[in-house]
Amino acid sequence: MTDVLASEQQPDDLPRLQKALAHAGVASRSACKTLITSGRETVNGEVVFELGSRIDPSVDDVRVDGVIVQLDTAKRYFVLNKPRGVVSTMSDEQGRPDLSTYVDRVGERLYNVGRLDTDTSGLLILTNDGDLANTLAHPRYGIQKTYVAKVRGAVTPAVIQRLRDGVELSDGPINVDAARILPDGSSRTHSLIEVTLHSGRNRIVRRMLAEVGHPVDELVRRQFGPLSLGAQRLGEMRELSAAERGALLNAAADGESHAGNAGSTVTAGRPGDGKGAKGMRGVAARGNPHRR
Active-site option among 117, 171, 177, 217: 117
131 annotated active-site = no
Instruction: Report d(CA 219, CA 146) in Å as an integer.
Output: 11
The residue among 37, 49, 35 whose CA lies nearest residue 271 is: 35
Amino acid letter for position 44? N
3-class secondary structure, 168: strand
Instruction: Report d(CA 1, CA 46) in Å as an integer.
Output: 9
DSSP class of residue 14 equals: S
Give a three-class secondary structure readout of 101-132: HHHCCCCCCCEECCCCCCCCEEEEEEECCHHH
Active site residues: 117
